[in-house]
């Protein structure tokens, strides 16, 4: 599974902004066909996204498309039909509430993969949980389909759905935020944190919120402006000091295991398997970032 430290939204009807995002060192670009696009511009945006997928050099960035809501008779079917043959790397599905919604989209993608001679499940799915029902059904959604790779927490829409008032501290959505990361990690999925909407806030505020998300277990965060990408990716990238410390700890553990010792003392602390697993996670992140 590819690394997704920051996922940058770009409006699907702006070739200029898509190209700007593609030129950045960002893990994933989400070309948006939902909230960023007026109803009258949906068709033009689909054409713009399809053309960009075929013509723009995205470098190492993942090419994602956010559809409209997955509800019968709505716009998502055209979103997929008009862009899938240009082969995005995946689709981001908003306001997912049931496993059946994920499975339905997966079936549509399987038809496209077969039609184009592509490997099955070569197109990924990422589901945004941003309604009360979506949060409550997180476990069923997480296990819905093998092409699902990540759960994304959407605080802003969730607050609107349940009538909560958003605050800087975020306690009104903390339970849901915790639930999403817990379910995602329990079923081997990536957990992507919600957007940071205050574009006037100091960068230190964004960094602090991103660090808190990382401490909760999130593996990445949505970005809504290019200036957010570097701070977010920096938080989710292991530092050289952290990598070196993890390597030393794992080496010490291996040496003690070879001598028949289990729990051991290291640099003034007792070390057991949870600490080793944490160190191995750091090293896995470093490898995914190309640092090892």
Distance CA 8, CA 198 (A): 15
Sign of CA dihedral 80, 84, 86, 88: positive
SS3 for 275? helix
Which distant-in-sequence residues (6+ apart) come within 8 Å of 125 by Cβ?
Answer: 90, 91, 93, 102, 105, 106, 109, 145, 147, 148, 149
Distance CA 187, CA 140 (A): 10
Structure tokens at 95: 């306001």
Q: Which of 22, 96, 109, 7 is nearest to 59 (CA)?
A: 22
Q: Which of 144, 142, 71, 147 is nearest to 112 (CA)?
A: 147
- 85, 114, 254, 272: which one is catalytic? 272
- Cβ-in-10-Å burial (0-12, 13-18, 19+) of 59 comes to exposed
What Å distances lie between residue 241 and 194, 210, 246, CA to CA?
Answer: 28, 20, 9
Distance CA 126, CA 151 (A): 6
> 145 an active-site residue?
no
Distance CA 65, CA 94 (A): 11
What Å distances lie between residue 55 and 10, 11, 49, 88, 281, CA to CA?
Answer: 16, 17, 10, 12, 36
Is residue 119 within 8 Å of residue 110, measured between CB atoms? no
SS3 for 258? helix
**If you search the block for the tokens 């995205």, which residue do you land on?**
58
| Catalytic positions, written as ranges | 272
């Amino acid at each position: 599974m590819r690394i997704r430290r920051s996922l940058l939204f770009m409006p699907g009807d702006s070739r200029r902004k898509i190209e700007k995002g593609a030129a950045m060192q960002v893990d994933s670009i989400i070309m948006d066909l939902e909230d960023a696009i007026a109803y009258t511009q949906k068709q033009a945006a689909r054409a713009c996204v399809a053309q960009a997928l075929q013509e723009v050099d995205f470098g190492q960035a993942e090419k994602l498309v956010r559809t409209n809501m997955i509800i019968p008779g709505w716009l998502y079917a055209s979103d997929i039909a008009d862009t899938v043959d240009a082969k995005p790397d995946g689709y981001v599905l908003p306001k997912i509430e049931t496993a059946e919604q994920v499975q339905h989209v997966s079936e549509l993608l399987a038809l496209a993969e077969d039609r184009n001679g592509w490997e099955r499940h070569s197109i990924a799915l990422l589901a945004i949980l941003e309604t009360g029902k979506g949060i409550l059904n997180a476990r069923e959604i997480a296990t819905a389909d093998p092409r699902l790779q990540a759960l994304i927490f959407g605080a802003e829409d969730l607050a609107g759905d349940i009538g909560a008032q958003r605050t800087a501290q975020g306690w009104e959505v903390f339970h849901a935020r915790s639930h999403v990361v817990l379910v995602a990690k329990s079923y081997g999925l990536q957990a992507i944190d919600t957007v940071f909407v205050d574009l006037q806030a100091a960068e230190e505020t964004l960094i602090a919120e991103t660090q808190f998300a990382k401490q909760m277990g999130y593996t990445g965060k949505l970005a809504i402006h290019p200036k957010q990408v570097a701070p977010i990716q920096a938080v989710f990238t292991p530092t050289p000091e952290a990598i070196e410390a993890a390597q030393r700890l794992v080496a010490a553990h291996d040496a003690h295991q070879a001598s028949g010792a289990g729990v051991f003392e290291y640099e003034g602390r007792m070390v057991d398997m949870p600490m080793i697993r944490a160190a191995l996670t750091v090293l896995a992140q470093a490898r995914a970032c190309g640092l090892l």
